[in-house]
């Protein structure tokens, strides 16, 4: 578990630095949580299955495949757009195509930095797919990343790292859900002996 925490730490640490450079302000990071959770409880990490969230999703391919989500509240998304791109987002309503594309790109940059530091750390090849963006119910979005786990059981392992800004305002969360087979590879790559499956 500590090894996986370190995995979350390293990835998110680099992503936090990237975000902090983009925004030109300090971004803090909470200690990553590594949990084996039943599907039901995963959406609770972001406020329940019906909570409206903005998510950038990337499928990780390569030697240790998995699913990576960068999740933020719609407000945090608006904030990001305003500060980074100077785009004033209208109150309420959905994001325009242009705004969505900008958000997707921001997510892509952060996720890319998460992955590349992880790949360096483990020496495993991990390549991100083209990211997708969605704003919808957390349950609907996150269940997408659980399909591979669904074939194995009713729990998924989640590496959850929260970004915090100044006043403990949650800026975003990274969810890494490695495919069930990927754990062995990550452990092996890091030279951690596996006790039992």
Partner 1 sequence: MSDQKTIVHVGMADLNVAGPDGVLRTMGLGSCVGLTLYDPVTKIGGLAHVMLPSSAIAKEGQLNLAKYADTALPILLNKMRDLGASPQRMIAKMAGGAQMFAFAGAGDSMRIGPRNVESCREGLAMLGIPIVAEDTGGNYGRTVELDCTTGKFMIRSVQMGIKEL
Residues that bind partner 1 (CB under 8 A): 39-40, 43, 48-50, 52, 57, 59, 94, 129-130, 132-144, 146-148, 150-154
Among the listed residues 66, 37, 41, the one whose alpha carbon sits nearest the alpha carbon of residue 180: 66
Among the listed residues 68, 42, 35, the one whose alpha carbon sits nearest the alpha carbon of residue 140: 42
Give the C-alpha separation, 71 to 174, whole Å.
Answer: 6
**Choice between 29 and 46, CB closer to partner 1:** 46
CB of 51 to partner 1, least distance (A): 9
Give the C-alpha separation, 62 to 8, whole Å.
Answer: 18
CB of 4 to partner 1, least distance (A): 21
**Choice between 8 and 128, CB closer to partner 1:** 128
**Choice between 88 and 136, CB closer to partner 1:** 136
**Choice between 13 and 65, CB closer to partner 1:** 65
* CB neighbour list of residue 131: distance below 8 Å, 6 or more residues apart: 56, 57, 58, 104, 107, 108, 111
CB of 140 to partner 1, least distance (A): 2
CB of 25 to partner 1, least distance (A): 30
CA angle, 36 as apex, 8 and 163 as ends, to 5°? 35
CB of 146 to partner 1, least distance (A): 8
Site of tokens 């969230």: 53
Cα 138 to Cα 39, 40, 85, 149: the distances in Å are 12, 11, 26, 17
**Choice between 40 and 169, CB closer to partner 1:** 40
Greatest Cα pair distance, the chain, in angstroms, is: 54
**Choice between 75 and 120, CB closer to partner 1:** 75
CB of 37 to partner 1, least distance (A): 11
């Amino acid at each position: 578990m500590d090894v996986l925490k370190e995995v979350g730490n390293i990835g998110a640490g680099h992503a936090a630095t990237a975000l902090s450079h983009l925004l030109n302000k300090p971004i803090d990071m909470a200690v990553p949580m590594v949990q084996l959770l039943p599907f039901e409880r995963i959406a609770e990490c972001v406020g329940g299955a019906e909570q409206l969230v903005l998510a950038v999703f990337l499928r990780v391919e390569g030697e240790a495949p998995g699913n990576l989500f960068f999740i933020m509240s719609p407000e945090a998304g608006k904030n990001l757009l305003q500060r980074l791109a100077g785009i004033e987002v209208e109150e309420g309503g959905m994001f325009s195509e242009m705004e969505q594309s900008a958000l997707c790109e921001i997510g892509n940059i952060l996720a890319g930095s998460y992955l590349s530091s992880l790949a360096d750390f483990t020496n495993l090849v991990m390549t991100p797919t083209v990211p997708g963006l969605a704003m919808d119910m957390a349950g609907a979005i996150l269940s997408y990343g659980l399909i591979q786990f669904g074939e194995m059981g009713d729990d998924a392992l989640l590496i959850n790292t929260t970004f915090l800004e100044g006043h403990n305002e949650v800026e975003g969360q990274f969810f890494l859900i490695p495919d069930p087979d990927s754990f062995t590879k990550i452990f092996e790559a890091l030279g951690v002996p596996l006790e039992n499956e």
